[in-house]
Amino acid sequence: MPGPQAVSTLDMRDVRDETVVHDTGSQRIHVLNRSAAAVLRLCDGRHSEDAIARKIAGDDAALLLRARNDVERILRTFASLQLIET
C-alpha cells in the first residue's frame, strides 16, 4: 500500500534548527521543526505511516508508540495544509 507523498511543488531548505518549506504551487511558506521535517522527507510514497514512525523511533521500542502518535498528528496537519497527498 503506498504511503503519503509530498506534493511536487515543495522547495525545502534547512535553516539552522528548522526547515523552511516553500510551496511554489500555493505560494505559502511553512517553518518546520526537525521532527516534522524528518516526517515530510519520508513522505515519498514508499513509506507507510507505520514505516515512517519506525524510522523516527529507530531501534527504541519504547519510543515507537509515541512516534506513531506524533507521525499521525503531523501527517494530519500536512494533509490539511495540502503538503502531502494520501
List, for the chain, all residue ranges whose pLDDT scores fall below the cut of 70: 1
Counting the structural domains of the chain, the total is: 1
Backbone angles phi and psi of 18, in degrees to 5:
-130, 170
In a domain, 2, yes or no: no
Q: What is the pLDDT of residue 55?
A: 96
Closest listed residue to residue 81, CA positions, set 39, 48, 34: 39
In a domain, 32, yes or no: yes
Q: What is the pLDDT of residue 50?
A: 96
In a domain, 1, yes or no: no
Query: How many other β-carbons are positioned within 10 Å of the β-carbon of residue 24?
Result: 11
Q: How far is Cα of residue 36 from the mean position of the Cα atoms in its chain?
A: 5
CATH of residue 52: 1.10.10
The boundaries of the domain holding residue 68 are 7-81
